[in-house]
Structure 1
Amino acid sequence: MIRAETQRRETGKDLGIDVKLGRGGIREIEFITQTFQIIRAGREPQLRLKNTLKALPVLEKLSVMNAEQVKRLSEAYVFLRNLEHAIQYVDDQQTHRLPPDEKAREQIAALLGLSRSQMVEKLMQIREYVAQVFDGIFQVGEEENQEDDWPEGWSVGFERAKEALTDDLEKMGYGEARHCADRVLELMGSKFLAAQTESARTRMAQLVKRISEMCIKLASDDEGVAPEVIFTRFITLLEVIAGRSTYVSLLIQYPKVCEKVALVLKTSAWAADYLTAHPIVLDELVDERVSELDNFSPVDWSGWQDDLWEKLREVEGDQETQMNLLRDAHHAAVFKLLMADLEGRFTVERLADQLSALADAVLEMVITLAWQTIASRHCDVPKFAVVAYGKLGGKELSYASDLDLIYLYDDPSPEASKNYTRLVRRMMSWLTVQTSSGILFDVDLRLRPNGENGLVVSSFEMFKRYQRNEDGTGAWPWEHQALTRARFCAGDRAIGQAFEKEREAILRLPRDKAKVFSDVSEMRARMLEGHPNPTSLFDVKHDRGGMVDVEFAVQAMVLAYSHKHPELVNNFGNILLLEMAARAGLIGEELAQRCVSIYRNYRHIQRKHRLELGDGPVRVDRFAQSENIATVMQLWKTVFGSEGPLRK
C-alpha cells in the first residue's frame, strides 16, 4: 500500500509530514473514493468522475458513505490540497512534506491565514480522522500473514500439492478435506486465473487462505453448517469472479464485505446460488441502506424507479444495455431484501409485500421501455394494463416465483390490436430473454382468455364477455376461482379501475353453492394428481391438510358467499380473508385463528426450506404436523361439508 511504502522509506529519518502520501493524507482520501468508484461505477455512471471532490457527494447519494464522512473528507481534502500548495510556494519546489523547521512552518501557516500551532493542530486532527476512515474501510490494522505455509504449488493448482493440502485442511477442521483440496486446486489452476497477472493470482491465493480460516470460525459458531459446505460455496463464487479483478479486490480490501458474503453463503443454499448467478450484487453489501430495510420500511419503489430511469436515459437507444441495467437493478434490489430477510428483519408477509411491489414497479417500467421500441405505435402512452394472478396477484410473491399475467387494452384505434400484440411480445423479451445479466422473471400467460389457444392480449370488452360467459363459451369455473386472486398491477390506471370494478361484479354474481364446492373440489383432485408425493413425508403445499387446502377453502367462500358478503371480494390475502369469513359467520372464530396461525407457519416452513435447500417440493415430518393437518381438514369439512378428494 502507498502508506506502507511511505513509512518504509521514512524509517529512521526526520523528513517532516508527507501531506500527500503519508498516513491520513491526500492519497488516502483519493484511494477511498477511487476504490468505491471501481466497485460501483460499472452500474452507476454518475460515479465516472475524475474529480475527487465531485465524486464524494455522489457516494453519499448512493449511500456508500454517510453525510458526515463525505462532509469531513471533503473539507479535509480542500485543507490538505491548500496546505500542499502553500508548502510548495514556500519551498519553491515540488514537495508534499511539511518541514520540521518551525520558521518554515510559520510561513506556510501564514499563507493559510493560521498561526503555526493552529495549522499543526488542524493537520493532526484531519490526518487522524482520514486515517480512521481509511483503516475502517480497509482493515489496515489487521495484518495479513504474508508467509505462505500451504504446500508448494497449491497457488498455481499443481496436482502434486493435493495430498499435503488435504492434510493441512484436515488439521484445520475440514471434514471433507480431499474434496475441498480438489476445489481449491481447480480454482487456482483455472484458465481464467491463469490469464490474470501475477499480482491478481497472489491476491486470489491470499483470499482463499483468509476464507479457509473464516469458514472454520463461522462453522464453530453454529454446529448446523459444516465448514466444508461454506468453503466450497465460496470457492464456487470465486470461480465465477476469478476473471473479474474488481470483485476479488473488493473482497480483499474490504474484509467486512467478505465476512458478510460468507454469512450469506452459510445461511442459505438458495442465496449462495443467487449470489453466484449475479455476482454484481456483491457491491450492495457496501451500501449502508441494506441495514435499514425492515418490517417498517415503506412498500414504495418509486425512488428506486426514478434512480433507474436516470441510468436508462443515459443509454437510450441501446436496448441490450438497458435490459442489463434493468436486470442488474432488480437483482440488486432482491438481494437487499434477501439480506434483510436472512437477518430476521422481515416477516414472511411483509417480505412478500416488498417483492410484489418491486415486481409491479418493474412491470410498470417494462411497459414504457417496450412501447418505445415499437415504431408503429399510434399514441405516446399505451392504453394498456397488466393484471396479475396467482402469487403476484395475491401479493404473496417469493424470491423465485413465476409471474401469472394477462394483458388488457381499451383503445378504439384500428391499430390497437396489432400494436398491443407487438407490445406484449416485446415485453416478454424484456422480462424473460436471457442476457449476460440473466432474466427478470419467468412469465406464465395460460390464465388469459381461452388459455394457450387465446390471444396474448385482449380488449377489455372481450375480457368482460369471456368472464361473464353469457353464451356458454367463456370462462370456466376454475378461471373465476383464479380471479379471486387477481389484481391490476401496472399500466393504465383507468383500465385498472375498470378491471377491478368488473372483477368485483363477477365475483359477486349469485352462484349455486353446491356447484361451487363441487367445482373447487374437482380442481383440488386434479392438483393432487398433478403433484404426486411418493414419500411418507408431508408436502406442506400440495398434500391434503396443507397450504392449497387453506387457499381453496378461502377461494370457495369468496365465490359462494360474496353476493351476500361483498367485503370478501377484496384481494386482501388468505390470512385476512379467513378472519373476515369468521366475522361473517361462515366459519368459527377459533377455527379461523388456528388456520391463520397454521398458514403462517406453513409459509415460514416453505421459506426456510427453500432458502436452505433451494427449489423443489417442501416436505417435512408428517407426524410433527399431524395436528395442523387435522385442523386444516376441519376447515375444509366446515366449508365444503365433505372430506374432499384423497390421493390415489
Structure 2
Amino acid sequence: MTELTPDTARLLAPALAHSRYLERLFTRHPELAEETATQIETPFLKDEMLARLPTAACSDEEFKVHLRRLRQAVMARLIARELTGRCTFDEAGRTVSELADVATATALKQIIQSETRYGQPIGEDSQTVQELIVVGMGKLGGYELNVSSDIDLIFVYPETGETSGPQKIENHDYFTRIGRRLIQMIDDPTEEGFVFRVDMRLRPFGDSGPLVCSFAALENYLLTQGREWERYAWIKGRAMTGDEKGLMELITPFVYRKYLDYGAFQSMRELHAQIRREVIRRDRADNIKLGPGGIREVEFICQVFQLIRGGRVRALRQRNTRTILAELVDQGSLPHQAAAELDAAYVFLRNLEHRIMYLDDAQTQMLPTNEDDRARIAVSMDFADWPQFLAALDAHRAIVTRHFEQIFDTSREAPAPSPAGAWLDGDDDEGLQQLAAQGLADPREARRRIQALKNSTRYLQMSERCRQRLDSLLPHLLHTAAALPAPDATFARLLDLIEAIGRRESYLALLAEHPKTLERLGEIYSASSWVSGYLTRHPILLDELLDPRLLEQLPDWPALAARLRRELAEHAGDTEARMDVLRIFQHSQIFRLAVQDIAGLWTVEKLSDQISLLADLILQVVIEQLWPEIPGRHRETPLYAAIGYGKLGGKELGYASDLDLVFLYEDDHPDAGEIYARLTRRISTWLTTHTSTGMLYDIDLRLRPNGASGLLVSSLEAFEQYQRKSAWAWEHQALTRARFCAGNEEIGRKFEAIRQSILRQPRDTAKLRAEVVSMRQRMLETHPAKETDVKHCHGGLVDIEFIVQYLILAHSGEYPELTANTGTIALLATAAQRGLIPADLAEKSRNAYRELRHLQHISRLNDGTLDAERLAPLAGELEAARGLWGVLFGELV
C-alpha cells in the first residue's frame, strides 16, 4: 500500500489493523485513504452520496463505475468511523441502507432516461404514467442493513397497460426490462466490485415467478397463495421508489389481521417451532445470526408480537427492530428489563456482525476460527483477548435464548392439541400401549414425534391424498423399526425422512407401494445415523433403493464416467442443470458405496480407494466441463493438473472428507497464469456451491505454495523451485501423501518426478527429527492426545503417519521404494524389510493403524465417539506404536 502521511496513518490505524478489505481498497485507491482521514469526523449522509453521482447523461457502464466508487467511499469512511469509535450501530445501518436507496433510485432514473424506444408506461384504467415500485425487504426495509449484506428486493407496478412510444409493449414487459437492467446496474461485478448483491427470491412464487407484478397480481397472490412466512417477511417491506401509499394499502391487510383467531395463533406457534427446528437442524452454533441466542431470535421476538398485535396497534407496524423493542415496553408486551437486555444484546451482536464482515467485505455471520481474525475481532470489540470477548458474547446469547424461550412458552394460548394416539386408532393410553407393544423403549418420545409430525405445517399443508398415504405408512414404519436393532432410534430417523419428503407424494408412494424398499430403508436407517441423515438430506436417492443390484454391482468407473459425460452433454449450455447432474451422480455413488459398506462388502482401505476414485472422476469431469467456458482460453485442452494432498492424496477419503488440492500448469502462453487462475476459481465454485441438490465437496487450497497468501495456481517450474528452496519441513511431510488426481497426465508424470526428487534429497536426520517432533507438539496444542481420540492419541493415527513421513524423508534417498504412494500400512512394512525399524514394532503398528482407521470409520458412520472399552483390545498395538515413536524420536511427544 502507498505510504500514508503520519496523520492519516494514525487516524486510520485501528481500521487498517482490523480490515483486510480496507487495506486492499486503499492499495487500489490511495487517494481514498487521504480523503477518508480528512472526512472521518463527518457521517456519510444521503446528500453527499447524491452529490458524488453524475447529473449529466452518461452510459450505463460509466454510471456503474460511479456507483461502485461511491460504495467504496462510503464503506471506507464507515469502517474508519466505526472502528475508531466515531460511529454508532444505528448510524452504520442507516448509512448502508441510504446507500442502497440512493443507488437504487439513481440507477433506476438513469435506466429510464436512457430507455427511449418505448415511451412511458401508461395505466390502462387511470391513463397516467406508471412508476416501478422497488420494495426493500428485510433489514433494508428497517434502515438497519448489514454493511456487507445483499439486498432483498421485490418489483411492483400499479397498473397493467402499454407504453406510449412508437414501439409499444405491455407495461409488464417494459418493467421487466427495466428491472433486469436495474439488477445488473447494482449487482454486476466489475473491476471496481459491485454495489449490492441483489436477491429477488422473496417475490411472489420465488425464483419461478415473474420478475415484476402488478398491484392486481400481487393482491391475488397474497389472497390465494400467501403464507405465514410471507407475512413475516413483509413486515419490513418498504417502497424505495414509486407509490408507497398504494403499496401499503395492499400489503397491510395481508400482514396485519384485524382479528386474531385460534387458527392464526396456531400458525404462529408452528412458525416459531419451525424456525427453532431449522436452527437446530443446521447446527449453526457459531452463526451469530441464526445460531442460538443470535440476531434472528431478537428479530423474531419483535416480529411475532407485530404479527399478533399489529392489526390493532399501529405503532407496532414500524420496521426498525430497536424501535419495536421500545414500543413493546410502551405497549406492556415486554418488561422494561427484558427489552433493555434484548436491545443491548442486539446492538452487541450487530456490532460484532459488522466487524466480522469488515475483515474481508464478506457476507458472513460465522465466528472466525483462525487466531489472527479472532484477535482482530476481540480488539475491535474492545476486549483484551478472545476469551474475554467470547465470555461477553456467550452472556448476551444466553440472555437472548432465555427470553426467546420464555416468550414462546408464554405465547401458548391455544388449547392442547388432540392426543397423538388418535393417529394410532386409540385413546391416549391405548396409543402408548400400542407403541410399547412394538418394542419401543421410550413410547412417550415416539408419541411426541408422531404428534409433532401430525400437527406440523408440512402435514397440515399436504394434499388430502398425501395425508392418506402418510397415515397408512406410519404403522409400516413402526413395524419396520420394531424388527430391527435400536428400534427407537430407527423410528426417529425414519420420521425425519417422512418430515423431509412429506409434500412429495411420489416419495410417499414409493415407500407405500414397495414394502421391500421400506425394509431395506429401515435396515440402512438402523445401521448408520450418518447414512440415514445423508439420505434424508438427499431423498432423490430413494430411487436407488429400487435397484436390485444395489448390493451386487460394484463401481465400474470407466462405465460410470461415460454415463456421467453423456448426461452432462444432454444439458450443454445449462450451468445449473450440469451442476445438478454432477451432484446427483456423486450423491448416488456415495450412497451406493455406503449401503454396500453397511452390508460388509468393503474393507476400510478398499472403500477409501473407491471414494477417492470418485473424487478423481468428479475433478476430471469438472475440468473438462469448465475449460471450454474460460475467457481467453488458447488451447483445446488445458495444460493443467489437480494434485491431491492429505486424505485425497493418500487415497484415504471418507464419506464426508474435504479435498486438499493444489493446482499446477505448464504453459508458456503469456496469460497462462491468469487464465488458469480463472479456471481454478470456477472449479472451486462448482465444487463448493450449494444448490437445491446439495454440494459436491468442501475444498482446502491452503497447501499450495505460500499457503493462503499464494497464487491459486502455480506453474510446474515455480512449484518445483518453491519445494526446493522455500518449503518448510511440514510441506515436505505433506508431499509424501500427494498424487496426481485429474487433468493433464503429462503434468501429472512430471509432478511425480519432482515429488520423488524432493523426497529423496539428502537431509540432516537429526534436524529432521527435531522438526517432525516440533510439528507434532504444535498439533497437540490444538488437539490434545485424548485416549479415546483414535487420530490424536499417543500411538494413534497421526503418530503413525508422522513416523512413516519421517522414514520417507530420511531414507528414500537410499531406498526409493519408500516414495511409492502405497499407503501407510504398506510403507511400514517396506521400512521394516529394509531394517529401518524393528519388524515386531512395525507389524503391531500396522495392525494398530488398520484397526484404528476401522474404529474411526465406525464412529463416523454413527456420528458418535469411542469409549475406552472399544480401544482396550488394541492396548498392545498402541503400546508398540508408542514404542516405535520412541525408537525414532527418543521419547513420546
TM-score of the aligned structures, taking structure 1 as reference length: 0.71
Aligned to 1:578: 828
Matched, 1:381 2:654: no
Q: Which amino acid aligns with 1:511?
A: R
Alignment check: 8 A CA contact 1:540 1:620 kept = no
Which of the numbers 587, 590, 610 marks the counterpart of 1:331?
587
Alignment check: 8 A CA contact 1:155 1:188 kept = no
Ranges in structure 1 where 5+ consecutive residues have no aligned partner? 1-150, 220-224
Superposed displacement of residue 588, structure 1: 2.3
Which of the numbers 565, 570, 584 marks the counterpart of 2:815?
565
Which of the numbers 861, 871, 875 marks the counterpart of 1:626?
875
Alignment check: 8 A CA contact 2:848 2:874 kept = no
Superposed displacement of residue 216, structure 1: 1.1
* Residue correspondence of structure 1 range 535-574 to structure 2 within 5 A: 537-574=787-824
* Residue correspondence of structure 1 range 322-471 to structure 2 within 5 A: 322-469=578-725
**C-alpha distance in structure 1 between counterparts of 2:566 and 2:431, whole Å:** 50
* Residue correspondence of structure 1 range 47-62 to structure 2 within 5 A: none
Superposed displacement of residue 261, structure 1: 0.7
Change in 2 beyond 3 A, CA 1:643/1:403: same
Matched, 1:234 2:482: no
**C-alpha distance in structure 2 between counterparts of 1:628 and 1:567, whole Å:** 25
Superposed displacement of residue 629, structure 1: 2.0
Alignment check: 8 A CA contact 1:188 1:205 kept = no
Higher relative contact order (CA 8 A, sep 6+): 1
Aligned to 2:546: 286
Alignment check: 8 A CA contact 2:794 2:882 kept = yes
TM-score of the aligned structures, taking structure 2 as reference length: 0.52
Which of the numbers 186, 193, 199 marks the counterpart of 2:452?
186
Aligned to 1:501: 753
Superposed displacement of residue 159, structure 1: 14
Alignment check: 8 A CA contact 2:791 2:797 kept = yes
Change in 2 beyond 3 A, CA 1:157/1:436: farther
Which of the numbers 721, 730, 741 marks the counterpart of 1:489?
741
Alignment check: 8 A CA contact 1:388 1:487 kept = yes
Alignment check: 8 A CA contact 1:271 1:611 kept = yes
**C-alpha distance in structure 2 between counterparts of 1:441 and 1:175, whole Å:** 38
**C-alpha distance in structure 1 between counterparts of 2:648 and 2:588, whole Å:** 20
Superposed displacement of residue 370, structure 1: 2.1
Change in 2 beyond 3 A, CA 1:163/1:371: farther
My pick for the range that moved more, 456-465 or 161-170, is 161-170
Alignment check: 8 A CA contact 1:466 1:475 kept = yes
Cα deviation code 1:262-281 (max 9, x no counterpart):
10110011111111111111
Matched, 1:202 2:468: yes
Query: SS at 1:455's partner residue?
Result: coil
Aligned to 2:730: 478
Matched, 1:639 2:892: no
Query: SS at 1:292's partner residue?
Result: coil
Superposed displacement of residue 158, structure 1: 11
Displaced runs of 4 or more, over 6 A: 155-161
Change in 2 beyond 3 A, CA 1:360/1:618: farther
Superposed displacement of residue 539, structure 1: 1.4
Superposed displacement of residue 624, structure 1: 4.5
Query: SS at 2:663's partner residue?
Result: strand
Query: SS at 2:711's partner residue?
Result: coil
Change in 2 beyond 3 A, CA 1:161/1:379: farther
Cα deviation code 1:408-457 (max 9, x no counterpart):
01111122111111111100111011111111111011100001111111
Superposed displacement of residue 156, structure 1: 9.0
Change in 2 beyond 3 A, CA 1:349/1:232: same
**C-alpha distance in structure 2 between counterparts of 1:634 and 1:482, whole Å:** 24
Aligned to 1:39: none
* Residue correspondence of structure 1 range 154-303 to structure 2 within 5 A: 154=420, 164-219=430-485, 225=486, 227-293=487-553, 297=554, 300-303=556-559
Q: Which amino acid aligns with 2:792?
A: H
Aligned to 2:855: 605
C-alpha RMSD of the superposition? 2.1
Query: SS at 1:408's partner residue?
Result: strand
Cα deviation code 1:207-229 (max 9, x no counterpart):
1111111111113xxxxx2x111
My pick for the range that moved more, 185-194 or 494-503, is 185-194
Superposed displacement of residue 406, structure 1: 0.4
* Residue correspondence of structure 1 range 68-87 to structure 2 within 5 A: none
**C-alpha distance in structure 2 between counterparts of 1:546 and 1:619, whole Å:** 15
Q: How many residues align?
A: 476
Cα deviation code 1:108-161 (max 9, x no counterpart):
xxxxxxxxxxxxxxxxxxxxxxxxxxxxxxxxxxxxxxxxxxx99759979996
Alignment check: 8 A CA contact 1:291 1:340 kept = yes
Aligned to 1:78: none
Alignment check: 8 A CA contact 1:557 1:639 kept = no
Which of the numbers 570, 576, 590 marks the counterpart of 2:840?
590
Alignment check: 8 A CA contact 1:387 1:488 kept = yes
Q: Which amino acid aligns with 2:685?
A: S
Query: SS at 1:385's partner residue?
Result: strand
Q: Which amino acid aligns with 1:637?
A: G
**C-alpha distance in structure 2 between counterparts of 1:559 and 1:159, whole Å:** 70
**C-alpha distance in structure 1 between counterparts of 2:772 and 2:593, whole Å:** 35
Query: SS at 1:596's partner residue?
Result: helix
Q: Which amino acid aligns with 2:531?
A: A
My pick for the range that moved more, 625-634 or 564-573, is 625-634
My pick for the range that moved more, 552-561 or 309-318, is 309-318
Cα deviation code 1:377-408 (max 9, x no counterpart):
22221111000000010011111111110000
Which of the numbers 510, 531, 555 marks the counterpart of 2:762?
510
Change in 2 beyond 3 A, CA 1:548/1:391: same
Change in 2 beyond 3 A, CA 1:634/1:157: same
* Residue correspondence of structure 1 range 66-145 to structure 2 within 5 A: none
Query: SS at 1:218's partner residue?
Result: coil
**C-alpha distance in structure 1 between counterparts of 2:424 and 2:477, whole Å:** 20
Which of the numbers 528, 545, 570 marks the counterpart of 1:314?
570
**C-alpha distance in structure 1 between counterparts of 2:422 and 2:452, whole Å:** 9
**C-alpha distance in structure 1 between counterparts of 2:833 and 2:625, whole Å:** 45
Cα deviation code 1:325-373 (max 9, x no counterpart):
1001100001110011000011111111111111100000111122233
**C-alpha distance in structure 2 between counterparts of 1:403 and 1:462, whole Å:** 22
**C-alpha distance in structure 1 between counterparts of 2:575 and 2:422, whole Å:** 41
Alignment check: 8 A CA contact 2:639 2:667 kept = yes
Query: SS at 1:231's partner residue?
Result: helix
Q: Which amino acid aligns with 2:772?
A: V
**C-alpha distance in structure 2 between counterparts of 1:567 and 1:517, whole Å:** 21
Q: Percent identity?
A: 44
**C-alpha distance in structure 2 between counterparts of 1:367 and 1:160, whole Å:** 59
Alignment check: 8 A CA contact 2:421 2:427 kept = no
Change in 2 beyond 3 A, CA 1:377/1:161: farther
